[in-house]
Chains A and B, each alone.
Chain A
Amino acid sequence: MSASASYLARRAVQKERVRILYRRALKDTLNWAVHRHLFYQDASELREKFDANKNVEGIETIERLIADGEAAYNKWRHPDPYIGKYYRKSFISP
């Protein structure tokens, strides 16, 4: 029973890491693609990358994927963040 509880706790932590990674990567995409149409495309691709791994099983595999994702994010982080308003507009007119 305690093994299962710690498994669930670990999975919960992983899910939180994924959500926060997605959030940061998406914000970074905003920084890199100031023009709306570029952002929409990049955001779409980013979402697809995450969705592709949606049903992966195996806690260690998931751990590795998250670590790879975080490393990729840190590698490509924009040095000069732009505070803009392009995200919401991309909802309405892709």
Chain B
Amino acid sequence: MASALKAAALRHIRVPVSPTLPLNGSRLNLCGTVRSMSSHGDDHLTKEEVIDRVIDVLKSFPKVDSTKVTPEVHFHKDLGLDSLDTVEIVMALEEEFKLEIPDKEADKIDSCSLAIEYIYNHPMAG
């Protein structure tokens, strides 16, 4: 009984979407809506933008010598930061890119390149 209802409901929902769908006499343009729901395309950050902003966060950390910052630096080996400094930097990156990184994943980020990769690959980075 429930599955029959479900099938009926699904048949009802399966309405072809055309660019101009008349609705109560007015034309509702769904093209824009469909495009903005796409998970690919121009709304994701470019790699260059991610790199620039990650570098910027690093350089603004008081304990960091900004002349040493490159996209390849390791927080401990190259910048001499300790594990708690790294925790602070990752938190600052979460704020910068509006992300909530799970603790165990955040704990693995110990270099600029790892941070860049993680953020660039995150669909919610903003």
Contacts and interface: CB of A to CB of B under 8 A. Distances in A.
B42 interface: no
Interface in A64-88: 85, 87-88
B62 interface: yes
**Chain B contact residues: over half helix, strand or loop, or mixed?**
helix
Interface in B85-108: 86-88, 90-92, 95-96, 103-104, 106-107
Contacts of A92: 60
A90 to B, nearest CB: 9
A37 interface: no
A8 interface: no
Contacts, number: 42
Given A18-B83, A92-B60, A87 B91 contact: yes
Interface of B: 57, 60-62, 83-84, 86-88, 90-92, 95-96, 103-104, 106-107
20 contacts: A15-B83, A19-B83, A19-B86, A19-B87, A19-B107, A20-B104, A22-B87, A23-B87, A23-B90, A23-B91, A24-B103, A26-B91, A27-B91, A51-B84, A85-B95, A87-B92, A88-B57, A88-B60, A91-B61, A91-B62
Interface of A: 15-16, 18-20, 22-24, 26-27, 47, 50-51, 85, 87-88, 91-92
